[in-house]
Structure 1
Amino acid sequence: MSLALSPLTGAAAVPVVVLAAALLHAVWNALAHGAEDRLAVFVLMNLATTGCAAVVACFTPLPDARAWPFLAASAALQVAYQALLLQAYRLGDFGQMYPIARGTSPLLVALVSATALGRPLSAAETLGVLVISLGLLGLALADGLPGRAQLPALAAALGTGVMIASYTLVDGSGVRQSSTGVTGYVAWLFLCQGPVLPLVAWALRGRSLTARLRPVLGRGLMGGVLSLLAYGLVVWAQDHGSLATVAALRETSIVFAALIGLVMFREPFGRRRITAGALVVTGIAVLELTHP
């Protein structure tokens, strides 16, 4: 997937492109959260991404046989991620669930790299992990000690972050086993993963699913297009700029999500949430910018 951008081109455009991708990522999540029938929205998003992936897959070869176990594992993790994200958005505030889910992932990737993969953290990376941890704790406690009713939402958000970290690690290894490059690998991944949620929804709701899709048709298809566009912008930026800078800047989606939660959903945007969200973004920036 390649994008030609004009008049901004080259390294000078990278920050603008990544910020745009971060905004689009927060927007499609807000579209999903704001729908009354979120499952229907996710079904439509998956159908849109599957259709686009099918087109791209027509122009890329089949991944090498060594990549298919990674594709299968990643597809399963992506489905679990969507299920947990749906649950988090059903139970909690967008401005709280989104940053917890997004912030948990880089924290876990760093910890797994340092333990299971045997790559010790530098002093700066350790600082980044600690800052992210404080920010996540602050978000979880922003409204006081969570009661029993809040625990399922927090667990779903944390579980979402675990799934993001898991498929990130799987894809990092899988794409190196594929002969198709990043674009081909991701196209075949979406082609494998995309139909699963629609099929599960059909099994759960039967023919009534079709009627449920109509009221959210525009929202769901737009969400799918925005998610693909956000991904395409990030891929372009990674090809034209520093990977660490891109990874750090894209997490500004947490800030955009907090603002969207305030404006669209009238969610509380108190000093604690502002401080905690800023800590998460700062910690991720430190972690990614110091990553070799």
Structure 2
Amino acid sequence: MLSYTGGLVLFAAVLHASWNAMLHGNRDRFLSMTWMSIAIAAVCTPIALFTPWPAAAAWPYIAASGLVHIGYNASLVRAYRRGDLAQAYPIARGSSPLLVTLGAALFAHEAISPLHALGIAMISGGIIALALQASHVSRAGVLAALTTGATIALYTVIDGIGVRLSGGEALAYTAWMFLFYWLMPLLFVAMRGLPALWTPIRATPMAVGSSLAGGLVSIAAYGIVIWAMQSGAMGTVSALRETSVVFAVLIGRVFLGEAVSGKRWLACVVVAAGAVCLGL
């Protein structure tokens, strides 16, 4: 039976699929990601100031993760420009659990059981199979998505180690790491100018509002993952989180009326079976 922690990580996967759908649905994804980042940083600022500070050993990891997250944000926007959601999202998310498992073994000396290794492989394989069924798979799109997957694996391993050094202050660790998201609006203004950031508030308030909501959802989604990695194996937690790809398929089918082929359902079953292996 899936543990309480595993259930929460699966809930985080649903949240993750939801905010990625919000991001991809907005026409200007760089602008959307910037407003998401503003929401994330604004909420986390008071949390960081009024909670006990993480232990000193965690601060290098907080800084490293915060900077890698900015690179991830930029890479994700680029991946969504180069490929469809059905292609970019599965490749980016599917490639990361295997990389996280390798990184955790090398840098955190984590061991993993054969059954859990099988589960991680099934989840990654099923997710990538979903991506390869997309009608238009471009080389540039795949490369952009794989780059995004590498940044996901990098910040996941950094946070998995860092939160264990935080002295049990997972909330404070998460909040201080997300403060680096204040760099996103600075980057946006440097590239496009301040009017490009503020004008959409009047011109397209619904798009800005959905971006702000997506930012709030993403805080909960990744906050749960950081909390789970305090005691759970990084590769296992990462693989469970990436079942978000299956939820993205279900969201597309139920709410967007997208067609789902038999092969895509089979890939979803493989991912679900891999999640069951992780829960045993």
Q: Deviations over 1:258-291 (max 9, x none)?
A: 12334566655322333234323433543x436x
The answer to whether 1:190 aligns with 2:144 is: no
Unaligned runs of 5+ in 2: none
Change (3 A) 1:96 1:121: same
Q: Which moves more between the two structures, 264-273 or 209-218?
A: 264-273
In the alignment, the residues of structure 2 paired with residue 62 and residue 117 of structure 1 have an alpha-carbon distance, to the nearest angstrom, of: 23
Aligned residue for 1:271? 262
Question: Share of identical aligned residues, percent?
Answer: 43
Listed one character per residue, the Cα deviations across residues 27-61 of structure 1 (whole Å, up to 9, x for unaligned) are 11111100011111111111111111111112123
Is the 1:94–1:261 Cα contact (8 Å) retained in structure 2?
Answer: no
Unaligned runs of 5+ in 1: 1-10
Q: Is 1:225–2:213 an aligned residue pair?
A: no
Q: 1:131 offset after TM fit, Å? A: 2.3
Q: Normalising by structure 1, what TM-score?
A: 0.78
Q: Does 1:162 align with 2:180?
A: no
Q: Which residue of 1 aligns with 2:119?
A: 128
Residue number in structure 2 paired with 1:7: none
Residue 186 of structure 1 deviates from its aligned partner by 0.7
Q: Does 1:201 align with 2:188?
A: yes
Distance 1:135 1:233, change over 3 A: closer
Match of 2:99 in 1: 108
* Pair 1:256-2:256 in alignment: no
Residues 115-140 of structure 1, C-alpha deviations (whole Å, 9 max, x = no match): 56555543323423442453244234
The equivalent of 2:159 in structure 1 is: 171
Contact 1:95 1:262 in 2 (8 A): no
* Number of aligned positions between the proteins: 272
Report 1:1-292 matches (<5 A).
19-115=10-106, 118-119=109-110, 121-143=112-134, 146=137, 150-179=138-167, 181-191=169-179, 193-207=180-194, 208-214=196-202, 215=204, 216-231=207-222, 238=228, 243=232, 250-262=241-253, 269-286=260-277, 288-289=278-279
* TM-score in terms of structure 2 length: 0.81
Cα deviation 1:78-128 (Å, max 9, x = unaligned):
111111211222222223322322222222122333456555543323423
Distance 2:119 2:226 in 1: 24
Give the equivalent residue in structure 2 for 1:6: none
* Structure 2 Cα separation of the partners of residues 199 and 165 of structure 1: 25
